[in-house]
Structure 1
């Protein structure tokens, strides 16, 4: 004797899959827009008033999350690979830290090492350690500080913000969505194609 198992309707699965795909696409667009607007507002508030965080509060007054500004980072960025490679080759002629193809490039591991040194210094500058004669122990050349061409200190990570949920915040937000309390904030998700959000 065989037992019949409940099998989901293929039609039900198809509409669920199509609906979730549409919702995911619209959420992605709305999220990107909300993040950009939030970032602009946070940047303006930080510049104007020193505000670096704001709470997310539901229409009923319950605080569900905190939005915090994250500062960007700056660091050394190779802006002219050829110039940088020529400098590495000229400064360290006995080392095989560059490769010659159509253009000379610094090997990735050495570029990372040099850029890390520049990041620590906060400038496109490298200190070449003093050279010592291995047999006599005498200093042949003192340490030399080089300004490195082809590298600039630039933003390496954009300023952004993060959402930190409070305990129970996700459930409270889901309930507010379910009951329609967030219809104004989520109107873009159910708008007709081509309607202004």
Structure 2
């Protein structure tokens, strides 16, 4: 092309744009479903490896052996969860009648600031219990249980250049086995 060439670049056709959008929509849906599935399978495998051998991280390696990322286990958390705020509010009012920690509406509720304080005390103890402020007796308030508050999960951390190397491996077909299900036929996947 010469420097004097004034030919305008080719304009994309509406048909080309429409099929590109449709194809990308399909690909995005299949990738999202595949990612959800592989995350669940990875979590099960990591949990099993952690229980059996204490494994908490695994390298993501390309077929050529290049490490592109690390997948690390993140531990879940447990804590107090208020399951019946009305029962808890009645108990607090009966147990601490001199305090203004509750307010009466049609339903008795615990003031949000006090509820947060009580939950923090339970977290510090490590159980759905609170100490009485004057007697020190450890009390078990109704309407509160100790259960998981955040699921155990894992995180993927890319190495420098890992995304580019993975994209190249995908482009050249080195990851064809990993992506076969995404491009397989079938209307609903």
| TM-score bracket relative to the smaller structure | 0.7 to 0.9
> Does residue 16 of the first structure (1) align with residue 20 of the second (2)?
yes
- In structure 2, do the counterparts of structure 1 residues 10 and 75 end up closer, same or farther at CA, with 3 Å as the change threshold? same
- Distance in 1 between the 2:32 and 2:54 partners? 30
Partner of 1:91: 95
Q: Does residue 166 of structure 1 match 2:164? A: no
Q: Deviations over 1:69-103 (max 9, x none)?
A: 11110100112323212112222334443344554
Q: More strand by proportion, 1 or 2?
A: 1
Taking the aligned partners of 1:115 and 1:97, their CA distance within structure 2 comes to 14
Partner of 1:176: 169
SS at match of 2:178: coil
- Answering whether residue 187 of structure 2 is matched by residue 189 of structure 1, we say no
**Structure 1 segment 1-197 matched on structure 2, within 5 A:** 7-130=11-134, 142-193=135-186
Cα drift, residue 153 of structure 1? 1.3
Quote how far apart the aligned CAs of 1:183 are. Answer: 0.9
Segments of structure 2 that go 5 or more residues without pairing to the other structure are: 1-7
**Normalized against structure 1, the TM-score is what?**
0.82
- How many residue pairs are counted as aligned between the two chains? 183
Point out 4+ residue stretches in structure 1 off by more than 6 angstroms.
Answer: none
What residue in structure 2 maps to residue 139 of structure 1?
none
Q: Deviations over 1:148-178 (max 9, x none)?
A: 2221211111111110111111110011011
Q: TM-score, normalised by structure 2?
A: 0.85
- Mean Cα displacement is larger for which, 73-82 or 47-56? 73-82
Q: Give the 3 Å change call, closer, same or farther, for CA 7–79 of structure 1 in structure 2.
A: same
Q: Give the match's secondary structure for 2:176.
A: coil
